Structure 1
Amino acid sequence: MRKTATALATIFALGAGAAQAADLRMSWWGGDSRHIATQEALKACGEKHGHTIQPEFTGWTGHQEKVTTQLAGGTEADIMQINWPWLPLLSLDGSGFADLREYSDTIDLGQWPEEQLESGTMNGKLNGLPISTTGRVFFFNKASFEKAGVPLPSTWDDLISAASVFKEKLGEDYFPFDATGQNGLTAVLIVSLATTQMTGKDLIDPATNTVAWTAEELQKGIEFHQSLVDQGVIRSWKTVAGGGNVELFELPAWSDGRIAGSYEWDSTYSKFNDPLEEGQELVPVKLLTVQDAVTEGVYRKPSMVFSISKNSKNPEAAAQIVNCLLNEPEGIQALGDSRGIPASRIASETLADSGAINPQLLAANRIVMEAKGPTVSPFNEHPEVREIFQDTLEAHAYGQISAADAAVEIIEGVNGVLEKF
C-alpha cells in the first residue's frame, strides 16, 4: 500500500512539474525603474509557479514597430505590454491576441469592474487586461496661489479670474495655468475637454466611428482655448514655440512657480512635482468645468494592457504569470507603482495599505476614477488624428485660419482617418 501511494505521489509530482515547466517570453517598454521592477516580479512569479520567463524590454521609441513586426511574423512574446490605443490597430476584429476570458479560471477577472474590462475588449474578445487606469487631472502649485492671495480654482471662471490677480500682484510673466505645450498636445486636450463638457460627447461616436461633434460645437471649444490665451491665463502657441517647445516640467518658470498649473496624466504627478523649488507643492483638484457643462468630461483610459499571444505554446502558463503580476502578492509588491496605480482592486489596496503610493498621487487617481464622462475611444490617440488636430489648431493660433474653418477641417480630416477602420 505504501509503495502504491509513493508511486502515485511520484506520478503526480512529475505531472505537476511537467505542467509547470514552461519557457515563456515577456516584452515591454519603459525606463530603468520599470525594467528593474518587472524583472524582479518575473523572477518572483516564475519561481512561485515553476516557469522561466525571458525578459525583452526596450524604451518607448520603436516599440510599436517592433511589436507590429513580430505579430505579422508570429514571433511575438507570450506576454506583451501593449499600449491601449494600439488595440484597434493590431486587433480590430479581436483576433490579434488571445481572448483572456478563456483563462478566467486562472486570471481573477473579478478584480476589475466590467467597464475596465470592456476597454480592453475588441469585437467581444478581451484582448488586453488593464494594468493601470489613468486620466487627465488638474494640478496646481499651492504656493503660487497662496502668494497671489487667491484660492485654488474649482471652475474655469475661477481660473480666468485668478489670471489678472497673478499679473497684478506677482508680475506679467506669471500664469496660473498652461495649456499649449507638448507641441500643441495640451491644446488639443483642453479643446476636447471643453467641447466634451459642453456636449456630453467624446470626439468619436463609438456607434458610427465618426466624429460625434458638429462643426459649431467644436468651434466653441477652439474659441474657448483661444479665450484663455487672450485673457492671460495661459501662454500663447507662439510663445511656447519661441521657447523651443521645452517640456513644461523642465522650464525654470515651472520650477519657481511662475507657471502654476497644468492638465496632466494623474500618473505623472511626481514628474511635475519633483522639479519644484523648496516650499512648493502640486495639489490635484477636481476637473474644472465650463458654464452649463453637461458632464465633467473626464479623459480616462487604461494606461496600457497586458496581452497574451494567440500563438503562445503555453497560454495557461502565461495566464498564471499575468495573474501573479497583477493579483498576487509576489507580483504586486515587486511591480509597485512602476506602471501607475494598479487597476486591479487587490493590487491597489495592497499598495495603498502598505504606504507605497504618494498620497497626492492617490488623491489625483481618486479624482480621475470618480469623475463622470463619456467613454473615450482609443482612436482619439491615433497618430494621424492627433496630427490633424494639432496642425489645424496651430494654424488657427497663428491667425491663418478661423475657428469655424478649423473646426470643419479637423472634422473632415479625422473622419478621413476613421474611414480606414
Structure 2
Amino acid sequence: MKKRSTLALMMAGVMAVAAGCGGSGSDGQSSAAGNSAAPSASASEGKKDPVTLRVAWWGGQARHDYTLKVIDLYKQKNPHVTIETEYAAFDDYWKKLAPQAAANNLPDVFQMDISYLTQYGGRGQLEDLQPLIDKKLIDTSSISETTLSGGKVDGKLYAFTAGVNALAQITDAEALKKMGITLSKDWTWDDLDKMAATVKANGKIMGGYRHDVFFAYYLRTVGQKMYAADGTQLGYADDKPFIDYFTRYQKWYDSGVLLSLDKEATKKGTPEEDEMVPGNSVSSNGWSNQFLGLANAVKRPLELQPLPGPGAKEGLFLKPSMYFSIPKSSKVKEEAAKFIDFFINDIEANKIIKGERGVPVSSKVKEALKPLLTENEVKVFDYVAWAEQNSSPMDPPNPVGSIEVEKLLKDISEQILYKKISVEDAAKKFRTEANAVLAKNKK
C-alpha cells in the first residue's frame, strides 16, 4: 500500500478481491464480475432469492485478475448471486471509500487494512462478525483464536484476517552477488549502509521505506512503540529514535541511492511500477505478501530478506496482511459472510489465490496448497514460517487519528529530505503535532 513493499504473501493470498480482467479496467472503476460462468448442477438444485453483493479491494493487476476468477468460481457455486466489483491501487482505494462511508454506502464486503481498522470500527461503521461466525456462516474450526483476534477493536471482531505476513526486504540476490554483496539474516543497519554505498557505486538504487511502517518497526527494535497504549499520544518519550532513523535516511537520500521524491510522487504503489522491474533498483521493502506480485512483474529470481537489526526479533511481527469487513449498512450481511467464508476456506478458490494475500489462515488450506506451490510461493510460505519463530507479538491496531499522524509523518519526512527543516526540529514538530491529533481524536 504506499511504496508498499508489502508482501503479505499469503495473507495476501487469502483476502479481499482483486480486479482487472472482466469488467472495469485497471483504473479501478466498478464492474459486474463472473457473468460468463455457467451455474453448476449442485448450485441449481434449490431456488434462492437473487442477491447482489458489492465487493471491493485494492491491489495491482495480477491481484485483480485472479480475484475475478475467484468471483467467477463463487458464482458457479452460487448462481443466485450477482457480484459487483470495485477496486483500485491502495491510496486511491481509501480515497474512494471515504465518501462511501460518509454516505452510508460502503461495499457489502471490502478489504480492510490495520491502519484504518480502528477508524472505521471505532466509529460504528463495521459489523461485528462474531454473531455471523456463531451462525456457522464463516467456518473458523481450522483457524487459531490468535489469528482471529487480530481483527478485534474494543472486543468486537470488526475484520476477518485473510492472511498473515511479515515485513521483509525483497532483494535481487544475483545483482547484489555481482557487486560482491551477500546478506545474512542477522545483518545490521551498518551493513545496510555499506550495501547502499556499494549499490550507488554500481549505478543502482535501493528501495525506500514507507515511514509509518518502517519507523514503527525501528521503534520496536529499540524497545519503543509508535503509539501509547491508550492511543492518546505517541508511544516513545525520547526523540532520539526519530533523529537516528531520519538522519540515516537523509544520508541515503543525499547520496542518491534512493528514488527521488518527485519520481516517487508519480507512482501508485503497484508492483508493476517498482524500480526493480526495469532493473534500476536492487531491493524493495514491504510486506511478504507483496513478494509474489513484484516477482511476477520482475520476471527474474528475487529473495526475501529480514530487516536489519539489532533488535530485529523484537521489531518483526506477524501481521494480518489484510482483512475482510462487512459494513453496518449492508442489507445482505449473511451472504457477505458466506462470501468471506468461501474466500478463506474453499480449497478450489485458494488454489487460485495461492497465498497472494498472505499465508492462508486456515490450516486445512495451507496443507492442501503445499504440493501446488511454485518456487516463489514456497519462498513466501517459508519466510512467514521463519518469521513466526523469529518475531514478537504485534502491537494493537492503530488508534483513531493514526491516518492523520501517518500523513503528518510523510509530510515532515519530505521536509527533511528537501532540507526545509532539520531532523532535530522535525522530531519536535512531529511530536507536538502528532500528540495534538491523537488527543483530539480520543474517544
TM-score (norm 1): 0.77
Identity of aligned residues (%): 20
Give distance in 2, aligned partners of 1:311 and 1:243. 40
**Which residue does the alignment assign to 1:123?**
154
Question: In 2 relative to 1, CA 99–22 (structure 1 residues): closer, same or farther, beyond 3 Å?
Answer: farther
Listed one character per residue, the Cα deviations across residues 250-293 of structure 1 (whole Å, up to 9, x for unaligned) are: 7897457564223222222244445658xx63211223203xx3
2: CA distance between counterparts of 1:252 and 1:222?
23
Aligned ranges for residues 92-111 of structure 1 at < 5 Å? 92=122, 95-104=124-133, 105-111=136-142
Q: For the Cα contact (< 8 Å) 1:27–1:77, is it kept in 2? A: yes
Does 1:362 find its partner at 2:394? no
Within 5 Å, give how 1:65-80 maps onto structure 2. Answer: 65-80=95-110
- Report which stretch shifted further, 111-120 or 250-259: 250-259
Contact 2:231 2:438 in 1 (8 A): no
Unaligned runs of 5+ in 2: 1-44
Cα separation, partners in 2 of 1:41 and 1:147, compared to 1, 3 Å: closer
- Say yes or no: does 1:54 pair with 2:83: yes
2:315 aligns to what SS in structure 1?
coil
Give the corresponding residue for 1:158: 191
Report the equivalent of 1:28.
56
Q: Report the equivalent of 1:211.
A: 234
The answer on whether the counterparts of 2:57 and 2:87 sit within 8 Å (CA) in structure 1 is yes
Range with greater deviation from structure 2 (59-68 or 115-124): 59-68
Alignment-derived partner of residue 140 in structure 1: 171
Question: Aligned equivalents of 1:244 and 1:78: distance in 2?
Answer: 33
Alignment of 1:18-417 (within 5 A): 20-21=48-49, 23-30=51-58, 31-48=60-77, 51-60=80-89, 62-92=92-122, 95-104=124-133, 105-153=136-184, 154-156=186-188, 157-164=190-197, 171=201, 173-174=203-204, 177-179=206-208, 186-187=210-211, 189-199=213-223, 201-214=224-237, 215-226=239-250, 228=252, 235=257, 240-241=260-261, 254=276, 259-274=281-296, 276=298, 281-290=301-310, 293=311, 295-298=313-316, 300-337=318-355, 339-355=357-373, 358-373=377-392, 374-375=394-395, 377-379=397-399, 382-417=402-437
Q: Secondary structure at the match of 1:205?
A: coil
Query: Could you give the per-residue CA deviations for residues 331-354 of structure 1, whole angstroms, max 9, x where no partner exists?
Result: 323444453443333333333332
Q: Once superposed, what is the RMSD of the aligned Cα atoms?
A: 3.6
Amino acid at match of 1:195: L
Return closer, same or farther for 1:256/1:367 CA change in 2, 3 Å cut-off. Answer: farther
Residues 190, 225 of structure 1: 8 Å contact kept: no
Partner Cα distance (1:339, 1:36) in 2: 13
User: Aligned with 1:352: secondary structure?
Assistant: helix
Distance verdict in 2 for CA 1:144–1:62, change over 3 Å: closer
Distance 1:305 1:404 in 2: 37
Shift of 1:152: 1.5
Q: Which amino acid aligns with 2:54?
A: M
Check 1:63–1:388 CA distance in 2 against 1; reply closer, same or farther (3 A cut): closer
Give 3-state SS (helix, strand or coil) of 1:378's partner.
Answer: coil
Can you list the C-alpha shifts for 1:223-273, whole angstroms capped at 9, x where unaligned? 34345557x6x725xx61365656597789745756422322222224444
SS of the residue aligned with 1:211? coil
Instruction: Please report how far the alpha carbon of residue 308 of structure 1 lies from its aligned counterpart in structure 2 after TM superposition.
Output: 2.6
1:3 paired residue number: none
1:202 counterpart letter in structure 2: K
* Alpha-carbon distance change, 413 to 321 in structure 1, aligned in 2, over 3 angstroms: same
- SS of 1:87's equivalent in the other structure is helix
Bigger mean CA deviation after superposition, 72-81 or 325-334: 72-81
* Closer, same or farther: CA 415–115 of 1 in aligned 2, 3 Å: farther
Deviation, structure 1 residue 394: 2.4
* C-alpha distance 378-346 of structure 1, shift in aligned 2 (>3 A): farther
Cα offset, 1:203, TM superposition = 0.7
Q: How far is the alpha carbon of 1:123 from its aligned partner? A: 1.9
Distance 2:380 2:354 in 1: 13
Write the deviation string for residues 34-68 of structure 1: whole angstroms up to 9, x where unpaired.
44533443443355467414223232465435544
Q: Secondary structure of 1:111's partner?
A: coil
- What is the identity, as a one-letter code, of the residue corresponding to 1:333? K
Q: Greater relative contact order (Cα 8 A, min sep 6): structure 1 or 2?
A: 2
Q: Which has the higher helix share?
A: 1
| Aligned counterparts of 2:101 and 2:263: Cα–Cα separation in 1 | 41
Q: Distance in 1 between matches of 2:273 and 2:61?
A: 24
* Distance in 2 (alpha carbons) for counterparts of 1:244 and 1:334: 32
Report the AA paired with residue 283 of structure 2. Answer: G
Give the 3-state SS of the residue equivalent to 1:57 in structure 2: strand
Deviations 1:330-383 (A, max 9, x none): 432344445344333333333333225622333343344444244163359944
CA distance in structure 2 between the partners assigned to 1:380 and 1:309 by the alignment? 18
Aligned to 1:10: none
Q: Distance in 2 between matches of 1:186 and 1:66?
A: 22
Aligned length: 386
Q: What is the CA-CA distance between 1:92 and the residue it aligns to?
A: 0.5
Q: Which moved more, 1:39-48 or 1:21-30?
A: 39-48
Q: Work out the CA distance in 2 between the residues paired with 1:346 and 1:76.
A: 31
Q: Which of the pair has more CA radius of gyration?
A: 1
Equivalent position amino acid for 1:268 in 2: Q
Instruction: State the SS of the aligned residue for 2:244.
Output: helix
Structure 1 residue 17, shift from structure 2 partner = 4.5
User: SS where residue 176 of structure 2 aligns?
Assistant: helix
TM-superposition CA deviations, 1:198-238 (whole Å, max 9, x none): 12x331123344210122332233234345557x6x725xx
Structure 2 CA distance for partners of 1:209 and 1:108, relative to 1, 3 Å: farther
8 Å contact from structure 2 (residues 161, 324) kept in 1: yes
